[in-house]
Structure 1
Amino acid sequence: MPEPLTKQQLREIQDRVTATRKGDWDMHLDNDGQPAGFGPFSYVEPWLEDELLPAIDFCTHARADVPALIGEVARLQRELLIERGLRERAERRRTARPAPTATLHWAAQLDADDLEAFLSELATAASGDDDLTTLQTVEKTITEWRRNADEQQRLATPGGSRAR
């Protein structure tokens, strides 16, 4: 299989096509009805008689076939670029690590003393013997501290205080 055409090679082929006579390159027959030329060629001398008509057929279609092939190459190159881009984007998504989600993002808003108290209570809650009870105690501690942090944030936000 031949090597893929470079952009320069495609440009050179397109330039050669553009430089030729426009329109179909129909076959010309002589007075005896024999092939005498095609397109801009007015005389054809066969090297082998049985190869003349296929060669003329090839050449007469070249003026239309080559531009069509150049167009098809350009279309396939565009599709390849799009496909490559999609594949690269999918690979980046596949290999990219998701941004870490901070489950306790609200705890980062606590002042140093409250954060220390929260972590201390959390450590105490997590030190139980029964796994299910320990999990429930940890969840309860986090929930209570989250409510307190949310309330403090609400009160610290302008217009956040409510009359009770």
Structure 2
Amino acid sequence: MPEPLTDEYLKETQRIVAAAPTGPWAVEPNEYGLPDQVGPICYLETWADTQRIPVVEFIAFAREALPRYVGEVARLKDRVRELEVDALQSVTTGVERDDC
């Protein structure tokens, strides 16, 4: 299982995502109809076409997906902290809450 994401790692990921050109990034074909560019990324590719298409689709999808995943992780980490504080307060005061 991977290591938990630290707050520093999430902040660095957010910084990198924010610095990249905004999306969505479209997959642009070359004159033969094959993927040649994804958003601001243009490249010379030597892979077979069947290998190229999944890679460029992944890049295009990741531009929108990564910020959403990072945001969701940050939201869930905040919620866990809130629940930990609530649990600690319940233990120290002897009061149980039933609002989950």
Same fold (TM over 0.5): yes
TM-score interval for Structure 1 and Structure 2 normalised by the shorter chain: 0.7 to 0.9
Identical-pair percentage? 33
RMSD over aligned Cα, in angstroms?
Answer: 1.6
| Counterpart residue identity of residue 62, structure 1 | A
| Counterpart residue identity of residue 29, structure 1 | P
Aligned residue number for residue 24 of structure 1:
24
Aligned residue number for residue 10 of structure 1:
10
Aligned residue number for residue 62 of structure 1:
62
Structure 2: which 5+ runs fail to align?
Answer: 95-100
The 5-angstrom pairing of residues 72-87 of structure 1 reads: 72-87=72-87
Q: Residues 34 and 49 of structure 2 are in contact (CA less than 8 Å); yes or no, is this contact kept in structure 1?
A: no
CA distance, structure 1, for counterparts of residue 63 and residue 46 of structure 2 = 20
Structure 1: which 5+ runs fail to align?
Answer: 95-164
Change (3 A) 1:54 1:46: farther
Q: Indicate the structure with greater strand content.
A: 2
Cα offset, 1:4, TM superposition: 1.0
| Counterpart residue identity of residue 12, structure 2 | E
Moved segments of 4+, more than 2 Å: 46-51
| Counterpart residue identity of residue 57, structure 2 | D
Taking structure 1 as the reference length, what is the TM-score of the superposition?
A: 0.53
| Counterpart residue identity of residue 76, structure 2 | L
CA distance, structure 2, for counterparts of residue 46 and residue 16 of structure 1 = 28
Cα offset, 1:90, TM superposition: 1.8
Cα offset, 1:88, TM superposition: 1.1
Q: How many residues align?
A: 94
CA distance, structure 1, for counterparts of residue 51 and residue 67 of structure 2 = 25
Larger radius of gyration, structure 1 or 2?
Answer: 1
Q: Indicate the structure with greater helix content.
A: 1
